[in-house]
Structure 1
Amino acid sequence: MQTNNVLDFRRLGYYFQYHMLASWKSYLLGALSIFGLLMLIPAFMLLTDNAPRELSEVVGVYYFGLFFGGLLFTSMAFSDLANKEKGSQFLMLPASQFEKFLTIFLVTTVGYLLVYHIAAYSALLFLNRVSLIRHEVSLLIDWEFLDWKDGHIYIYFAYIFFHAVFLLGAVSFGRLAFIKTLVTILLCLGCLYLLNTLFVWILFGRNTPTPFQNAPFILVGTNGGKFKTDVFVISEKMVHSYAFIAQYVLAPVLWTIAYFRLKDKEI
């Protein structure tokens, strides 16, 4: 091990090569699965004579594949830790834990997004061909769903956040990480919702008829006012604070926690 036990770019390059050589079969199989599933959709539309006329009609499939495929792939990033022998070999490789973490991070972010979007674009070309065959007109390529002004950019911020959550889950759980992480997310959301409801009861008491129907930490409805209902909404400053934390703080914090969880495995 070199003097720098945190990050050495030459050593990082060697470990990245080792990782890709050791995992190329599973990565190739995953890439072919993505291509196959995305190509299956236009093929099915061709067989059922149900080809779309606009790109926005099938954008939901794109988002579903982005989230489901990306998060499933991320949850398997540290599956070797679930096996005692493989986990020990992984931890004892002559590279720092940060270099191992950074390699996995790059593969599950840049690597997956690159492969997925190449496959999605290939499927788009096939879909356009299907539209020509069935409707004798090209598919209307309307990129309106990518317009930042309409808030679609937040879908990608949501993906980055969930990637951080599932990467932490991959380090923490190892075996069945996808399911365990999903259950943990639901439990955390349930606890936060109950905590919010408790605060509503404490602050407003009987003045709120349906404390379970309020928007957690954002909006509370109470009895009173002209229409027998008063609505209390958080300030615009707090809304911007929530948005800033969600976009730029939560994911880096979770990535950092995941890294230190990986370092704890050395002990």
Structure 2
Amino acid sequence: MIRDTFFSAPRFVNLCRKEMVESWKANLLRFVMMYGIMAIAFVWNGYFRYNYPQGMIDRGVEQDPIWYFELTIFLWAMVIMGLLSASFVMERMKTKTNRIAVLMTPATMFEKFLSRWLVFTFGFLIVFLIAFKLADWTRVMIYMVSYPELKSVIASAPLSYLGNSGYYWTGLQTWDGLLMALSGYFFAQSIFVLGSSIWPRNSFVKTFSAVIVIIIVYVAIGSLLAKILFEGRGGYGVHQTMSDEAMMHLSTAVFFAMAVFNWIVAYFRFKESEIINRW
């Protein structure tokens, strides 16, 4: 009998261990897939970047020319794979047998949701970072052996360039911009977590389709209202009274708040499955 009806740390640890043991094959395959896709992309791009080593030496190239490509891939792959990972949160609720097995596990619904949420949101980020670095090091090792004369140029891509302005290319010019992008990422991911709790089967496709439809509807309504309200009026448009920095901070706070809201709604939707999805 469960005494702590909301959360128990020892029971939660055992539940996480159970989740990892039962899903290690699927998680390993997903890790290998992420690593393989990025490794192939990096090695393929490196073939064209390092094809004329003498020309790079003559031009005095000091920065690895593949960094821009790798950091761009890092951002896009993290978003796409992160959304796909979020859609797997409720994958065990697809069939009747799996639903009963999940619901009969001796743990609270909050612990079950939290264990899955941690694995497929924050756990994904750790695994993705490891896969990215392994793919990057694979590229470095291959081309250091192939082009030993470029050992001073070929290097691992520094992730610090994603949010630090300076002489070299950066993904986002300030750390505030990086924080806003991260909050936007968690907001987008939370939508797919919520979608997974609503549609356990084909969650990614259904959630993506629903988001596209909602965006189209909101854009159409917004465009129509703007046309009705502002068409034919004089003036110089809307004057912005808030600074760019304040707008960035506000956007970050809103994105984080909406992400938390979606996660909470997803939890209560999952909690309802204790009753409505038992059979």
Please indicate, yes or no, whether the TM-score normalized by the shorter chain is above 0.5.
Answer: yes
Secondary structure of residue in 1 paired with 2:49? coil
Q: Residue 247 of structure 1 aligns to which amino acid in structure 2?
A: F
Q: Which range moves more in the overlay, 185-194 or 93-102?
A: 185-194
- In 2: Cα distance, 1:101 partner to 1:88 partner: 15
Task: Give the Å deviation of 1:233.
Answer: 4.0
* CA spacing shift, 1:25–1:192, aligned 2, 3 Å: same
- 1:25-73 per-residue CA deviation (whole Å, 9 max, x = no partner) reads 1111111212222221233235x43346241232111112211112112
**Would you say the 8 A contact 2:91–2:200 is kept in 1?**
yes
Q: Residue 53 of structure 1 aligns to which amino acid in structure 2?
A: P
Task: Give the Å deviation of 1:239.
Answer: 3.5
Q: Give the TM-score normalised by structure 1.
A: 0.82
Matched pairs, number: 246
**Would you say the 8 A contact 1:131–1:138 is kept in 2?**
no
- 1:74-95 per-residue CA deviation (whole Å, 9 max, x = no partner) reads 2022112121221122122111
| 1:50 alignment partner in structure 2 | 49
**Would you say the 8 A contact 1:16–1:103 is kept in 2?**
yes
Task: Give the Å deviation of 1:138.
Answer: 2.2
Does the alignment pair 1:107 with 2:119? yes
- In 2: Cα distance, 1:77 partner to 1:89 partner: 15
Task: Give the Å deviation of 1:260.
Answer: 0.3
Q: Residue 149 of structure 1 aligns to which amino acid in structure 2?
A: T
| 1:149 alignment partner in structure 2 | 174
| 2:222 alignment partner in structure 1 | 196
Aligned mate of 1:224, from 227, 231, 234: 234
Identity %: 23
Computed over aligned residues only, the root mean square deviation of the Cα atoms, in angstroms, reads: 2.4
Q: Unaligned stretches of 5+ in structure 2?
A: 51-63, 165-172
Q: Residue 224 of structure 1 aligns to which amino acid in structure 2?
A: G
**Would you say the 8 A contact 2:113–2:267 is kept in 1?**
yes
| 1:187 alignment partner in structure 2 | 213
Q: Residue 146 of structure 1 aligns to which amino acid in structure 2?
A: G
**Would you say the 8 A contact 2:89–2:116 is kept in 1?**
yes
Does the alignment pair 1:126 with 2:138? yes
* CA spacing shift, 1:72–1:146, aligned 2, 3 Å: same
* CA spacing shift, 1:243–1:49, aligned 2, 3 Å: closer
- In 2: Cα distance, 1:177 partner to 1:98 partner: 21
Task: Give the Å deviation of 1:246.
Answer: 2.8
* CA spacing shift, 1:159–1:244, aligned 2, 3 Å: closer
**Would you say the 8 A contact 1:42–1:130 is kept in 2?**
no
Aligned mate of 1:82, from 78, 89, 94: 94
| 1:215 alignment partner in structure 2 | none
* CA spacing shift, 1:76–1:95, aligned 2, 3 Å: same
| 1:216 alignment partner in structure 2 | none
| 1:262 alignment partner in structure 2 | 270
Comparing both chains, which one has the higher relative contact order based on Cα–Cα distances under 8 Å and sequence gaps of 6 or more?
2
| 2:59 alignment partner in structure 1 | none
- In 2: Cα distance, 1:194 partner to 1:233 partner: 23
Q: Unaligned stretches of 5+ in structure 1?
A: 208-222
Q: Residue 31 of structure 2 aligns to which amino acid in structure 1?
A: A
Task: Give the Å deviation of 1:240.
Answer: 5.9
Q: Give the TM-score normalised by structure 2.
A: 0.79
